[in-house]
Chain A
Amino acid sequence: MQEHLVVTINGTQFLAEPGQNLLDLINTTGEFVPQICYNESLGPIQTCDTCMVEVNGEITRACGTTIDRPMEVRTNLSDVEAAQKEALDRILKNHELYCTVCDYNNGNCEIHNTVAEFGLEHQSYPFEEKPYEIDNSGPFYRYDPDQCILCGRCVEVCQDIEVNETLLIDWNREKPRVIWDNDVPIDQSSCVGCGQCVTVCPCNALMEKSMLRETGYMTDHEPGILRSMIELTKTAETGYEPLYAISDTEASMRDDRIKKTKTVCTYCGVGCSFDVWTKDRKIIRVLPQKDSPANGISTCVKGKFGWDYVNSEERLTKPLIRKGDQFEEVEWPVALEYVAKRFNDIKAAHGPDALGFISSSKATNEESYLMQKLARQVIGTNNVDNCSRYCQSPATKGLFRTVGHGGDSGSIDDIAAADLVIIIGSNTAESHPVIASRIKRSQKLFGQKVFVFDLRKHEMAERADRFISPKSGTDLVWLSAVAKYIIDNGWEKKEFIDEWVNDFAAYKESLNKFTMEYAEKVTGIPQETLKEVAKEIVNSDKVAICWAMGVTQHQLGSDTSTAISNLLLLTGNYMRPGTGAYPLRGHNNVQGCSDFGSMPNYFPGYEEVTNDETRKRYEKAWNTELPAEPGKDNHEMMHAIHEGTLRGLFVIGEDTGVVDSNINYVTAAFEKLDFFVVQDLFFTKTAQYADVILPASPSLEKEGTFTNTERRIQRLYQALEPLGDSKPDWQILQAIANEMGYEWSYKHPSEIMDEAAKLAPLFAGVSYDLLEGYQSLQWPVAADGNDMPLLYTDGFPFEDNKARFYKLDFELLYDTDNEYDLHVNNGRILEHFHEGNMTYKSKGISRKTPNAFIEISPELAKERGVQEGAEIKLTSHVGEVTGIAHITDRVSGKELFIPLNDNGKTAINNLTDNRVDKDTNTPSYKEVAVKMEVIKKKGKSPLPPNNHRRGNRQPQIGVRVDDKWKRNDYIFPGSKVKQRG
């Protein structure tokens, strides 16, 4: 235990932790000290000077004071208050107060609230305009220099929280302002549109464009009139107090028209949560909270601004039934009766296993639960799966083999706390932006080391302390060689292994093959480099390994994931904070969709369907007999359709005909189906093959829970009514079950969760009460409601409480050859998601990134004589794509890259084939060899000039407040007070 220090504040004694921030302490005591630039999530910035206090007789900034000795603090002396007032006056010189007609006056304007609470009555320095125009150039937010108080929060968040390093304040100008990159308009900068600057801005200087002229009762006016109203407001107000009275009243009236609803993001697996502000059906603001458990105040462009799809005119609003060569809109009873009848017919004629069910990783846990219940209870088949088959099943497999839980070992906080983060096959900055930001911050500010193993020099690779590029599909080899080298040198964590891990001897023997020479030959990584990596891993106290599709979407995806876990066990990097395995989950609820039983071999909570005891539990609860054999996974379902054994298919929220591998084969299967039901928001490519299309509602229109990559279960609340006749998936599933003669009677998703929690021990203590608001639970959740943010702290979930090493072999199964001589890598880009059905509906996103493209290395471009904008055709063994070339050194040599976000002629899955991971049937999307044909040698670049990738980042630490203090016109408010005194 550290000793506490005594801090006396206005005569009352408080105990403080050494190293605690003084302002933090004061804020816990109920004493009021004005503060504008200070924000708990950002830490002290020290630009606004309003938190002046007297410490041991000296006037100083409370936020800039670390408690390192006993202190006598006074916050209410007249000198102190005079200094605070001086600082507030300086802020109001930079900020015109016209609250009542300001769109930011929603009760949470920090300038308004601070000035009002301080009781400032009159302005000592008149407001001064700055000689700059409003910057309206970007698609998502605008900057008004005249309202900017130069607190630097936006710079702090951009430099050190998001770490995109776009914003700075130029303190050297006569009138400082925030600038983007090297002083270019927002739209031309490296800004990725994460919106965090807007989120933390304490006033209306940075505002979401969707807020402008929307929030207030008197803000919806033409700019000229608004200006006049501002002038009138100022003339009419002789002091601030009447202004506050009026604007506070108006602000509280706004609550009546603006609804604020907590929700969880529906894009990637980070699981950001935030309040979404809606006015009727308009989505005007997304506001993450400091208590958002996964993300704090952070978001990426998709979560902050990518919601246009919800109100898209392309949304399905009525059920559709195929009749002849067209779909016809019908009412719900007609559609439900038809679906029930056809399911029953197929079941009667061909048995329950002639039907297959594919759940959606976009839908909620409760909906995954009902989908598998529909398959198992109502139909009587285990043919139920979800899209984790396309991505992270191999990681789950690798973890089940070694440590026993198929999820991240810890939380995002643990990744941030690691001494060394190894990222393998993950472009984290684009695929999991908010997690990437935590890593970038730890690396930038706290000395965390980052090693990246990837083919492509993406942002994380550029930032890495080491960027190593092994030959595609050979990660297993270098991981095993490093493990062998560690053992050969006796560096393994012997005590940890003795106590916690089985099968060391067999594992050690299995590594014989993986010599340094062999690894160098197979992976192309020099032996010296591998040896250095081994040493660094051993010398780092806490190692976390993050991986994604670059590992799993290979024929040896499960084995490679296993090799990662083996290495972590060998070096004792489990069971402690800051360590562990982090297979970064791709979709908002890809974790939860598997967790809640949409798997052919598992009931909810990963209990085998073959286990009699488990099955009996469900049979009793559901009052029916259940099939004992595992069903077919997605991939096997497609084969079974071609074979004629699977005749009916029900797909929820998944554009299978675009996102499955070898889509020619998949869509050919769809054509062979007797009956095909697709449930989606949009009329997708897959839906074109359907017999019935059911209109579903997106996350904002329903309640439920999602589980993020940290195993964190979070609630979403309903912000909008379902559009048209669309319905939440759980209601549709219930209606189908009831139409088929069952009596499901869930009135609310919480009742579905209660049932799942009662049946699956992994979720025993989960209940909606414990998930209220921003509360969350990380499974496993014990019956008493205790959850487990860090796994394995008491051992591993096997009978003897010990983990296991798992033996592996390696054989190179994929390579390019003389004819198909180029390797096609593929993956996500930041601003689009999956096949793009949602993100292409966003005008702002599409303006900057209108379509997919094909990245080509400068050397290959030279060799083949292609230039930027060339049109090229790529042909693999199974299909072809055409697309526009973008020449970049992110790729090298004979490697190409295609963003997977396209559903047209550049859709990557025209090229991928039927090869799969041998253990999980996950398609080996990353093993594509092609030949290239040039259709047109040059053309218009597929990347618009305002794409952020063309920007020019300006890294620095924070806002550089020292530069402000060095200015000739800067006088410390404390000393100014003393002068006057």
Chain B
Amino acid sequence: MVIQIILLCGLVIFSGLAILLRDLIKAALSLAVASLILGIIFFRLSAPYAGVFEISVVAGLITVLFVLTIALTKKGDEVAEARLVKMAFPIFLILFLIIDGLVMKSLLQKIPALPSGPEAGAFGDVLWKQRTFDLVAQIGVILAGVLAVLALFRKKEEDGDE
């Protein structure tokens, strides 16, 4: 229990740093560390496949994408954030902590969640046989993302006269 609380606190601290740090590269790296911690939490919750995806894809690929974008937009970190925003953050955070602690426990008993009960079969059976349509949707989403990036980076067509 203690290790879980430490991991969760680390996750929140690094996520907060990702938002509050002034340097965008450092912010992206602390986001990667937060993903790494989330991956470890998934492993501890006996969800190894989700943990592997979280560490390899989110902590790896998305961080690379973020660093690449930050490098391509060098002057981007000159955007001035309002000072009041960072100063007011701890106050709002403490307020939310109090509300979260008071309300969440009673909410959890009312919100319907995943059906409980022991599962049969292996992870492969659930992913490939029960959630087959999800895989089709994933292929569609990946294709849509690739086409969107291609469309956004296409060059202007030159006039045919020349």
- The yes or no verdict on A and B being binding partners is no
Chain A interfacial positions (CB closer than 8 Å to B): none
Chain B interfacial positions (CB closer than 8 Å to A): none
